[in-house]
Amino acid sequence: MTSPSEFVRIWDLPTRVFHIVLGLCVLGLFVTGELGDALMPLHYWLGYAVLSLVFFRIVWGLLGGHWSRFVNFVPSPKQVFHYVRSMRRGEHHPNVGHNPLGGLSVLTMLCLLLLQVASGFLTDDEISLAGPWAAWAPPSWVELATRYHTEIGRVLLIVLIVLHVSSVVYYRIVKHNDLISPMLHGDKQLPAQTQHSRDTFTSRLFALSIWIACSFVVYRLVLLGS
C-alpha cells in the first residue's frame, strides 16, 4: 500500500526570495557590465547585493529550513557518482530537496559568485572604472582579478547558469519532474510523513535580520577600500 501524499513545505520563503532576487541581480549585472560606463554605479550596487545574498545563503545553509541546510543537500563524491550512474541506467530516484547534482551545482554557483564579486572589488579598467579595493591592492592582484572578472569568471558563470536552466527544463520535459513550481510556491507533493522545512512568521523575520546583518558586513567590506 502506498502512503498518502500531501503538500509538504520544502523551500521556505527566504530561500525562494533569495533565488528570485539573486537571479534578477545576476541578470542585471550582466546587462550593466556589458553596457558599461553610465550603468557602472548600478553594476556595483547589484554586485554588493549579490554578495549580501551569498553571505545570507551561507548562514541560511546552517540555520535555515530543513531542506535549505547544507547538511541536507551537500553530497559526498560517492553520492554524486552513484546518482550519475543511476541516471545513466535510466533509474529514477526521487529526491526531496536538491538531488546530488543539484546540490553540487548550488555550491559551485555560490563559489563562482563569491569569486566574481571578490574579483570585481579589485577590478580596474585603467581608464575610469575601478572596484573599491583596486586602489590599494598590489598591481599584480589587480591585473589578475581584472582578467578573471572580465574574461574567465563571467564565462564560467554563463556556462553554469545555462547548464542550471537547461537541467531544470530537462527534468521538467524529459523526466516529468517539475522542480520549478516548488521553487516558486515552496511545496512538493510527498508522503505525509516527509520532514517539512520550518517556514513561519518568526523564521522569516529571523531570515530578514540575518540578511540585514549580512548587508552591514558588505557595507563594512566596501568601506575598507576607502
Q: By rule CB under 6 A, what string of x and - marks binding of each residue 54-83 to ligand HEM? A: ---x----------x---------------
Size of the site for ligand HEM (CB under 6 A): 45
Q: Does 8 bind ligand HEM (CB under 6 A)?
A: no
Binding residue (CB under 6 A) for ligand HEM from 84, 165, 213, 217: 165
Provide, rounded to whole angstroms, the least separation between the CB of residue 54 and ligand HEM: 9
SS3 20: helix
- Degrees (nearest 5) of the Cα angle 150, 58, 132? 40
CA distance 206 to 199: 10
First to last CA, the chain: 66
Provide, rounded to whole angstroms, the least separation between the CB of residue 6 and ligand HEM: 19
Packing angle of the helix pair 153-173, 13-35 (nearest 10 deg): 130
Provide, rounded to whole angstroms, the least separation between the CB of residue 1 and ligand HEM: 28
DSSP state, 113?
H
Contacts of 87 (CB under 8 A, 6+ apart): none
Provide, rounded to whole angstroms, the least separation between the CB of residue 214 and ligand HEM: 14
Cα 6 to the center of its chain, rounded Å: 28
Binding residue (CB under 6 A) for ligand HEM from 8, 96, 109, 207: 109
Q: Does 129 bind ligand HEM (CB under 6 A)?
A: yes
Burial class from Cβ neighbours inside 10 Å (0-12, 13-18, 19+) for residue 54 reads: buried
Give the interface with ligand HEM as residue ranges (CB under 6 A). 15, 18-19, 22-23, 26-27, 29-30, 33-34, 43-44, 47, 50, 57, 68, 98-99, 102, 106, 109, 113, 116-117, 120-121, 123, 125, 129-132, 146, 149-150, 154, 157, 161, 164-165, 168, 179-180, 183
